[in-house]
Structure 1
Amino acid sequence: MNNSKKKELLDWIKSIVVAFVFVVAMRTFIFSPISVDGASMMPTYEDGDRVIVNKISKQISGIERFDVIVFEAPIGKDYIKRVIGLPGDHVAYKDDTLYINDEPLEEPYLDLYKEQLPDNGSLTQDFTLQSLTGYSTIPEGYLFVLGDNRSNSIDSRFPSVGLVPMEKVLGIANVRFYPFDSLGIVK
């Protein structure tokens, strides 16, 4: 092999290694794709939707109430849920209304489900944070999360998930890239 071919081959190898390192760094530190598994976030996310988990936004802007996050669940897989309660919050549900620190809050992402309820039924059963976790307010470093499909979601209401430690949060999931007809930013 002559020197010019060796140099060209070496340049290709360098380019491939740099591209590989770049992709690994992007997936590790900035974003990664995940597939939604199950119906717990319907209608916001459907089973099989593909979303981008933005890992950097949780460090830059922080996690806010109603963000959809992906976190490492204690049962060995990643979950996607909506942040309802932040550290210091008292969370309660009464008569299908969310109360944060005794103030009622609107949840427009649930409107579609509430419209479909027969006989003005209840989408979310009554509870208080204390009745579920033993805490009157969410401790520092933890989040309270719920799935949008309240009747079909394993979330902070269940001891197997409970309050989510901030260090288990992988990132915010607000971009759907598949199916293509639903491509875009999700609120």
Structure 2
Amino acid sequence: MQRILKSELFSWIIALTIALILAVGVRAFLFEPFIVEGASMEPTLNNNEKLIVNKVATYTGSVNSQDIIVIDGDEDINYVKRIIGLPGDKVEMDNDKLVVNGEVVDEPYLDEEIEKAHAIDMNYTGDFGPVTVPSHKYFVLGDNRLNSMDSRNGLGFIDEDQVIGVSEYVIMPIKEARKTE
């Protein structure tokens, strides 16, 4: 009887060890949850929403313009921002029109905010640029352009190595669960 208990206990220890290794591996290399802190991505993402971030995209080089990313900042601070310019892109803002490489980029996630700003005779995003994004860097903006520290004013260009991953889904609060875009 004692031999059976030892065998069963050993089986449980092995199973739990494997489960722990898999959980740590998934979190370290594939997907990780993050919490949005602050209002810089409103109206797209709200303070305290929990995201699932795809880390594989950083390993495979499939980070794209318009992706929402989590950035590893200084002193244990992570930032959530939208990629606007990739390495080599020429980026500028002209009267609330985002222009990348001479082409106007549609930003439908800002339509309502831009309309509100224009109703009171102001721009939602101040004009800047053109700026050319250096090699191995990204130009990022928060969606809340009036209240965001980003590549325009404090973060500067983001090094490719600072990107933790691409936001895929909002998972909390459950009633707000959705794919991030």
What TM-score range do you get, normalising by the shorter chain? over 0.9
Deviation of 1:139 (Å) = 1.1
Which one of the candidate residues 153, 177, 180 is aligned to 1:183? 177
Q: TM-score, normalised by structure 1?
A: 0.91
The aligned counterpart of 2:127 is: 126
* Identical columns (%): 37
Give, in whole Å, the separation in 1 of the partners of 2:30 and 2:128: 36
Look up the match of 1:134.
none
Match of 1:133 in 2: none
- The reply on whether 1:167 has 2:161 as its aligned counterpart is yes
Q: Is 1:74–1:161's contact at 8 Å kept on the other side of the alignment? A: no
User: Matches of 1:70 and 1:11 in 2, distance apart?
Assistant: 39
Instruction: Summarize deviations over 1:2-26 as a string: whole Å, max 9, x none.
Output: 1000000111111111111010000
Q: Give the total of aligned pairs.
A: 180
Select 1:142's aligned residue among 137, 146, 166. 137
1:37-59 per-residue CA deviation (whole Å, 9 max, x = no partner) reads 00000011000100001001233
* 1:54-86 residue CA offsets vs partner (Å, 9 max, x unmatched): 001233361111000001123541100000000
Please say if residues 96 and 114 of structure 2, whose CA atoms lie closer than 8 Å, have aligned partners that are also in contact.
no
Query: Structure 1: which 4+ aligned runs deviate by more than 4 Å?
Result: none
TM (norm. structure 2) is 0.94
Q: CA deviation at 1:108?
A: 0.7
Matches within 5 A, 1:34-113: 34-60=34-60, 62-74=62-74, 76-113=76-113
Instruction: Specify the code of the residue in structure 1 equivalent to 2:142.
Output: G
Backbone CA RMSD of aligned residues: 1.4
| Aligned mates of 1:86, 1:61 — CA distance in 2 | 12
Which has the higher mean CA deviation after the structures are superposed, 177-186 or 3-12? 177-186
Deviation at 1:161, TM superposition (A): 1.0
Moved more, 139-148 or 121-130: 121-130
Distance in 2 of aligned mates of 1:115 and 1:139? 32
Cα gap change, 1:168 to 1:61, in 2 (>3 Å): closer
Structure 2 unmatched ranges of 5 or more = none
Match of 1:154 among 149, 153, 164: 149
User: Which runs of no fewer than 5 residues in structure 1 stay unpaired?
Assistant: 131-136
Q: Does the residue aligned with 1:91 lie in a helix, a strand or coil?
A: strand
